[in-house]
Amino acid sequence: MSRSALVENVTAMLEDAGFLVSDRCAIRPKSFDVAARRGEDTLLLKVLVNIDAFDAPTGAEMRRLGHYLGATPMVLGLRTRDEELDPGVVYFRQGVPVLSPDTAMDLFVEEVPPLIYAAPGGLYVNIDSEVLADAREQKDWSLGRLAQELGVSRRTVSKYEDGMNASVEVAAELEEMFDAPLTSPVEVLDGAEEVREGDPTPDDPDADPDDEPVIAVLTRVGYDVHPTDRAPFKAVGEARRARLASMLTGHSTFDRTAEKRARIMSSVGRVTRTRSVYVVDRATRDSVAGTALVEREDLEQVEDADDLRDLIQERVDIDVEEPA
């Protein structure tokens, strides 16, 4: 299957599951292919046939964007270089959860979350430590007795009851011993934080020197501005004041590529509940598909975040839901 066909299939699956899905980010370089939202769950999705193509810079960008936009970065793919991805298993690349389309279908359409995740050394599950402790006590087994039955140390059993995860084989043996389900799902929509290393958000890249005057204005009026490397927008602006939406920002000469980027920004903005503005030297219209076009001279006259919001709103027909 080609990557384009896979993206189309994933988009159709998400729409069937009730997600609002953005237009495809068809401009290179690109850190994600589509954004999607259902209720309060927002996703930034990269779709690959071979997940080994997911490199460290792209992973870092997706994690940054997920943090700034309140979204879960995720990769959907078919295989690695050596094998197909197993259904029902969450993998990780560059700190981002990776699912097969079948696993995504179960999660988003059937609402059946995965129970297994891959980590160095094999496949693992989350043991519900309280359920395990209750089951052991109901059977009137000591920690030592359970350790003996499993063929592990008493300390290992104690760690299971303190929340340490177990291999699939150990979990199956425990469930057979106690005749009860002891595993809990991998919380993929929270980034699977409980099973992956909690690495801090990667540092922002340096801004393009040409964009620094725009970033300076946005910073002055009340935004924390985060430059991007591979997104269809140049930066994400987080409003320092509550109840103001974040903002996707582009900046360049206005040409066909800029128009395409502005359309994508608007589509992504509708999904992520952000405003979008494209700064140009000379604007021949007010907006593109919901992205405001603002000349740099006009931007430099903006006094504060409310002034900028009003300027953007004057030029677009789409209202943005402000955060509660």
Q: What is the CATH number of the domain that holds 31?
A: 3.40.1350.10
Whether a cis peptide bond, with omega within 30° of 0, leads into 29 is yes
Average pLDDT over residues 48-64: 95
Q: Is the domain of 109 the same as that of 7?
A: yes
This prediction's pTM: 0.88
pLDDT tens-digit series, residues 175-230 = 888 888 888 888 888 766 766 656 678 889 999 999 999 999 999 999 999 999 99
Q: How far apart, in whole angstroms, are the C-alpha atoms of residue 319 and residue 194?
A: 37
Residue 258 lies in a domain: yes
- Assess whether 89 and 138 both reside in one domain: no
Based on its alpha-carbon atoms, the radius of gyration of the chain, rounded to whole angstroms, reads 23
In a domain, 204, yes or no: no
Domain range for residue 156?
Answer: 123-184
Domain identity same for 14 and 110: yes
Please indicate, yes or no, if residue 193 is contained in any of the structural domains: no
Residues 6+ apart with CB under 8 A from 225: 215, 218, 219, 235, 236, 237, 238, 249
Looking up residue 149, the CATH number of its domain turns out to be 1.10.260.40
Going by pLDDT thresholds of 50, 70 and 90, the confidence category of residue 242 is confident
Identify whether 223 is part of a domain: yes
Report yes or no on 47 lying in a domain. Answer: yes
Pair 104, 131 in one domain: no
The answer to whether position 131 is within a domain reads yes
Whether residue 9 is found in the same domain as residue 107: yes
Residue among 198, 310, 207 at smallest CA distance from 249 = 207
* 100 and 152 co-located in one domain: no
- Rounded Cα distance, 167 and 221, in Å: 52
Give the total number of structural domains in the chain. Answer: 3
The pLDDT tens digits for 88-145 are 999 999 999 999 999 999 999 999 999 999 988 889 998 888 898 898 898 899 889 9
Same domain, residue pair 13 and 94 = yes
- Do residue 175 and residue 228 come from a single domain? no
The per-residue pLDDT for 68 is 94
Q: Could you tell me if 216 and 150 lie in one domain?
A: no
Do 60 and 20 lie in one domain? The reply is yes
Among 60, 93, 114, give the residue marking a domain's end: 114
Q: What is the mean pLDDT of residues 287-302?
A: 92
**277 domain-assigned:** yes
Q: Please say if the pLDDT value at position 304 is more than 60.
A: yes
For residue 324, pLDDT beyond 80: no
Q: Say how far apart CA 203 and CA 240 lie, in whole Å.
A: 19
The reply to whether 42 and 133 lie within a common domain is no
Select from 114, 140, 155 the last residue of a domain.
114
Q: Is the Cβ–Cβ distance between 237 and 224 less than 8 Å?
A: yes
CB 292 within 8 A of CB 311: yes
In a domain, 80, yes or no: yes
